Chain A
Amino acid sequence: MHIPDSFIPLSQAIIYWIIALPFIFMALRWAGKEMDDTKVPILAALAAGIFAIQALNIPISMGTSGHMVGATLVAIIFASPWAGVLVLTLVLLVQGFVFADGGITTMGANILNMGVVSGFVGYYTFSALMKHKLSLQISSFVGAWLGLLVSALVCAVQMYLAGTFPLVPGLVAMGTYHFIIGLIGEGLITAIAITAIASSRPDLLENRSLARGVKT
């Protein structure tokens, strides 16, 4: 879902950057408050893992592929969507500048979609489901899936405003592909990773109560 430079006119790309900046600032402020020597290695491991897994495109049929985004996973572990914004910002910076994956002018939009929208929707969906006594696996699966789907729909609206995609066909195409990418690439991998961490290192989950009910 990395938007290249040519997909959004510069004037609009700048607006997305301006909207993204306060979110990046808040993410840095979160890190300033929450980071300590014990948490830095966790942040770095998650950032490196998410960069690598974003290079692993999974075929989803229809001649299309997709990969995990990871903001929801990071947000659940740190019990804060700002953690997801921070990690995705760092990953997108390296992807954009070093690997031409996602544009530079459009990086603001990419940070908004993949860091902010997918992470916030994913994390708060997850939290709401956990409150309703759903299992850790189901809550993380559905949260991650919905986060990705909604961010793809937001991206389709941006493509419409940019004059690049027509509105309804754009929403249908983006929605269809990312409905599926979200199931496999995002939901399943997030649920597996969270389950593995909750059973091997329950102390790592910022929100300790999450580890309850997971067989160790």
Chain B
Amino acid sequence: MSSRSNMKFLYAGLVIALIIAVLAPFIASSDPDGLESAAEGVVSEEKLAEMEEAGSVFSSPMPDYAIEGMGKSGEVAAIVVGTLLVLGISYGLGKVIKK
């Protein structure tokens, strides 16, 4: 494994990830996922409403991969930011923790 060709792999991976990030808001299905669908099927409406009410314990800056008031461009921006953030964190952690 040469480090130069592996940097090429990183750039190629990043390009693919960014293409997916830009396309996802337009082509991803907005149907509920498997867990949500299962919940709708097997949990009573009352309890679902209760769980909805409870919400989450942490207030995230970009909930549901969106930026308030920015529509699709905000969704693209959110997923691009997330992709770069994950890239940066994993690269940084790898560098810090490597032997």
What residues make up the interface of A, taking CB atoms closer than 8 Å to B? Answer: 1-7, 28, 31-53, 55-59, 62-67, 87, 90-91, 93-101, 103-105, 152, 155-156, 159, 164-166, 169-170, 173-174, 177-178, 181, 201, 203-204
Contacts and interface: CB of A to CB of B under 8 A. Distances in A.
Given A49-B13, A51-B83, A3 B37 contact: no
B55 A41 contact: no
23 contacts: A1-B33, A1-B34, A31-B98, A35-B94, A38-B1, A39-B1, A40-B91, A44-B10, A45-B14, A47-B87, A48-B13, A52-B20, A53-B17, A57-B29, A57-B30, A57-B33, A64-B37, A65-B33, A90-B93, A98-B60, A99-B62, A169-B42, A204-B9
Contacts of A42: 6, 9-10
Contact of A174 (B31, B35, B79, B95): B35
Contacts of B89: 47, 90, 93-94
Contacts of A57: 28-31, 33
Interface of B: 1-3, 5-7, 9-10, 12-14, 16-18, 20-21, 23-24, 27-35, 37-39, 41-43, 47, 50-52, 54-58, 60-65, 78-79, 81-87, 89-91, 93-95, 97-99
A161 to B, nearest CB: 14
3 interchain residue pairs of minimum CB distance? A45-B13, A177-B34, A40-B94
B51 A7 contact: yes
B43 A164 contact: yes
A41 B9 contact: yes
Contact of A28 (B47, B54, B97): B97
